[in-house]
Structure 1
Amino acid sequence: MEVDRTLEELKKHNLYRKLKTIERAEGVYVYINGKRFVNFSSNDYLSLAFDKRLAENHKKCLERWGSGSGAARLVTGNFTVHEELEKKLAKMKKTEAALLFTCGYMANLGILSSLLGNGDAIFSDELNHASLIDGCRLSKAKVFIYKHRDVDHLEELLKTNRSEFKTAAIVTDSVFSMDGDIAPLDKLLKLAEDYNTYLIVDDAHATGVIGNSSFDFFDIKPTERTIIMGTLGKAIGTFGAFVASTSRMKEFFVNRARTFIFTTAIPPHIACMTIKNLQEIKSRMNKLQENIELLSKLTGIKSQTAIFPLIVGDSGRTLQLSEKLLEKGFIIPAIRPPTVPEGTARLRITVAAGHTVKDIKNLSDALKTLI
């Protein structure tokens, strides 16, 4: 069978994946087969997801709103708490409005497939997240790939091709999920203005990490042509996603984004919990920044974000290092193709606000011993 051959090929090339079963989590510490590990691979950057101090607030949300929404937002699944959260998220992103989606993948598919189509163009960074890539494909627009963070190459593509298409968009992650580097949003926004395109930004790994918004990092404000996707399941510590833009754009997505229209709304108690968690962000960002600076100093891996890529290259060697670190009590999975380009297999280390100085020093010592 094709399935059997595929699985054997994956094993042969050290690309086979399997699930780790976690029995329980206590902040940055997780338990597998009764043993405690320090988790350096989570996207719970502000350590909100497993914070027991917040449990009482979350319990009240569940008691008030129940466990599910019961319908899509356009049917009977639109609750006051959804709209309250959307207003807070719009304020956070400094936009007119925001619209909740079930997850970041669905949000990106919905944005791109509803806003762009045949006869339109998308200019996409070559290292964009899979959800953006799939959204580009689903849109059926003509896609131009520009070299990673290369503004000159992007402008060359815009100059040569933009005039042939009715509607166009520049699409980028703000913080790239595998490398932890930051897109030059100030320059991208200028190109969007100069060439009359939308600027669609995936802020999943930036929200609560380099600011409330990646636009804050560059001290620029969103404009009418910017569309920001953010997630709730990473630094904010709950579940779901949202799109922040103009009120008119929100109205458009409510009516045209199939991944919003045809799916059950996120449970209202999740929206309630998210509102509670938003109150914790400011103080925890400061602690996260301290940990980012410490990990960078001790390991020599430079990053301005919570993502630290340790490029190994060979998939087999990367797997071995990951397993050795597991033996020493650290969870850092091997990231291999096709998630990253061939020859760039890596350990993707992520730091969180909940890591202690001791956790970070112990990891640094382990890495120095192994490498």
Structure 2
Amino acid sequence: MDIKKIIKTLKGKNLYRQLKTIERAERVYVYIDGKRYINFSSNDYLSLAFDAELNAKHQNCLKKWPAGSGAARLVTGNFSIHEELEKKLAEIKKTEAALLFSCGYMANLGILSSLLGEKDAIFSDELNHASLIDGCRLSKAKVFIYKHRDTNHLKELLKKNRDKFETIAIVTDSVFSMDGDIAPLDELLKLAKDYNAYLIIDDAHATGVIGNSSLDFFNLKPTKRTIIMGTLGKALGTFGAFVASTKEMKEFFTNRARTFIFTTAIPPHIACMTLENLKEIQPRMVRLRKNIYLFSKLTGIKSQTAIFPLIIGDSGEALKISEKLLKKGFIIPAIRPPTVPEGTARLRITIAAGHSEEELRKLAETIKSLI
């Protein structure tokens, strides 16, 4: 493999990526090379991660709980605060139980690779997150891709193929991370019931945005064959992930999910901080919804979630606009292939509870002047 050639090719196609070094962060601002930028690209939807006042309260967690867990949960890394957080997460997802993982990627790999195998099938939305795609591959199950949010296409695939496999699962993001649209979970839940399938929902960008759970948005409750993956590192403002389902499913993943068994537990003080943050989410969700409504009205970009995709098309043009916005004081990196399909390079604008009306108006006006 010619590494230099690959890097050169990426640069020529405007697909080369570089890290931006953030010196510090506060509320919705980041500082780079001494200059402050308004952050409109974070997944910190409820503005919990960089809240100085809240972080001061977290000092009690650091005093009470260690900086690291020291081992995997099944060895000596299982602390009472982990179990307390799991009970709370199961409560907000309206499930019997929850199990903590180190991150969302690991959780999705663990769910899919342990639950499904060579005699099974997965029916996956074509725009699912990379972690779900990789989990499908790792499972060795037969994978059927259905058109984005197209339940008619999914039903056709299920009808034609269900009887060929032992266990099947319908797999979807609830809020899709690049487009911000919402999966038709009401219809998917019905199809899962009709075809005796598991419904695996990635709630990473839904938790704390469209409700405590994406199913809240549809006024639905999970069934015994519903498995919900959620993250702590987005709207909840800390780090880690979890899987919420039945007590039996928690027992199964504890014993079979390799990405749970063979990795160090999240630090106990992080679990404590997450419990503190959960006390803050309800009023912040109200503020976030107001900001989403206002920004949609100001820009004409329709979204029911915190994600507003501004499709540019060409990767080079998306980079240019991103740089112009940076000069105006806004940090909104260009999203390019392979993160999004060819020809759909974009600015992925994310709205947070901590953005002021003035900041939202300023961004909307700047976008209109540039595009």
TM-score range, shorter chain: over 0.9
Amino acid at match of 1:167: T
Q: Deviations over 1:159-179 (max 9, x none)?
A: 000110000000000000000
Q: For residue 230 of structure 1, what is the aligned residue in structure 2?
A: 230
Count of aligned pairs: 371
Q: Deviations over 1:208-254 (max 9, x none)?
A: 00000000000000000100000000000000000000000000000
Q: For residue 170 of structure 2, what is the aligned residue in structure 1?
A: 170
Amino acid at match of 2:85: L
Q: Deviations over 1:184-212 (max 9, x none)?
A: 00000000000010000000000000000
C-alpha displacement at 1:2, in angstroms?
A: 1.1
User: Which residues in structure 2 correspond to 1:120-199 (within 5 Å)?
Assistant: 120-199=120-199
C-alpha displacement at 1:56, in angstroms?
A: 2.9
Q: For residue 295 of structure 2, what is the aligned residue in structure 1?
A: 295
Q: For residue 356 of structure 2, what is the aligned residue in structure 1?
A: 356
Q: Determine the C-alpha separation between the residues in 2 that align with 1:314 and 1:209.
A: 30
C-alpha displacement at 1:19, in angstroms?
A: 0.4
What secondary structure is seen at the aligned counterpart in 1 of 2:50?
coil
What secondary structure is seen at the aligned counterpart in 2 of 1:74?
helix
User: Which residues in structure 2 correspond to 1:56-75 (within 5 Å)?
Assistant: 56-75=56-75
Q: For residue 37 of structure 1, what is the aligned residue in structure 2?
A: 37
Q: Determine the C-alpha separation between the residues in 2 that align with 1:191 and 1:55.
A: 43
What secondary structure is seen at the aligned counterpart in 2 of 1:114?
helix
What secondary structure is seen at the aligned counterpart in 2 of 1:76?
helix
Q: Determine the C-alpha separation between the residues in 1 that align with 2:66 and 2:214.
A: 34
C-alpha displacement at 1:5, in angstroms?
A: 0.7
Q: For residue 16 of structure 2, what is the aligned residue in structure 1?
A: 16
Q: Determine the C-alpha separation between the residues in 2 that align with 1:203 and 1:46.
A: 15
C-alpha displacement at 1:53, in angstroms?
A: 1.2
Q: Determine the C-alpha separation between the residues in 1 that align with 2:70 and 2:259.
A: 17
Q: For residue 81 of structure 2, what is the aligned residue in structure 1?
A: 81
Q: Determine the C-alpha separation between the residues in 2 that align with 1:3 and 1:218.
A: 48
Q: Deviations over 1:334-364 (max 9, x none)?
A: 0001100011000000000000001101101
What secondary structure is seen at the aligned counterpart in 2 of 1:30?
strand
**TM-score between the two structures when normalised by the length of structure 2:** 1.00
Amino acid at match of 1:341: P
Amino acid at match of 1:228: I
Q: For residue 281 of structure 2, what is the aligned residue in structure 1?
A: 281
Q: For residue 269 of structure 2, what is the aligned residue in structure 1?
A: 269
Q: For residue 49 of structure 1, what is the aligned residue in structure 2?
A: 49
Q: Deviations over 1:295-350 (max 9, x none)?
A: 10001111000000000000110000000000000000000011000110000000
Amino acid at match of 2:27: G
Q: For residue 110 of structure 2, what is the aligned residue in structure 1?
A: 110
- Which runs of 5 or more structure 1 residues have no equivalent in the other structure? none
- Which runs of 5 or more structure 2 residues have no equivalent in the other structure? none
Q: Determine the C-alpha separation between the residues in 2 that align with 1:50 and 1:327.
A: 23
Alpha-carbon RMSD across the aligned residues, in angstroms, is 0.5
Q: What is the aligned-residue identity percentage?
A: 78
- Please tell me whether residue 94 in structure 1 is matched to residue 94 in structure 2: yes
C-alpha displacement at 1:57, in angstroms?
A: 2.2
Q: Determine the C-alpha separation between the residues in 2 that align with 1:185 and 1:369.
A: 38
Q: For residue 328 of structure 1, what is the aligned residue in structure 2?
A: 328
Q: For residue 365 of structure 1, what is the aligned residue in structure 2?
A: 365
Q: Determine the C-alpha separation between the residues in 1 that align with 2:350 and 2:54.
A: 23
Q: Determine the C-alpha separation between the residues in 1 that align with 2:346 and 2:161.
A: 36
Q: For residue 26 of structure 1, what is the aligned residue in structure 2?
A: 26
Q: For residue 347 of structure 1, what is the aligned residue in structure 2?
A: 347
- Please tell me whether residue 211 in structure 1 is matched to residue 242 in structure 2: no
What secondary structure is seen at the aligned counterpart in 1 of 2:77?
coil
Amino acid at match of 1:292: I
Moved segments of 4+, more than 2 Å: none
Q: Determine the C-alpha separation between the residues in 2 that align with 1:364 and 1:148.
A: 29
What secondary structure is seen at the aligned counterpart in 2 of 1:22?
coil
What secondary structure is seen at the aligned counterpart in 1 of 2:143?
strand
C-alpha displacement at 1:32, in angstroms?
A: 0.5
What secondary structure is seen at the aligned counterpart in 1 of 2:42?
coil
Q: Determine the C-alpha separation between the residues in 1 that align with 2:334 and 2:51.
A: 27
What secondary structure is seen at the aligned counterpart in 2 of 1:75?
helix
Q: Determine the C-alpha separation between the residues in 1 that align with 2:74 and 2:247.
A: 17
Q: Determine the C-alpha separation between the residues in 2 that align with 1:2 and 1:61.
A: 48
**TM-score between the two structures when normalised by the length of structure 1:** 1.00
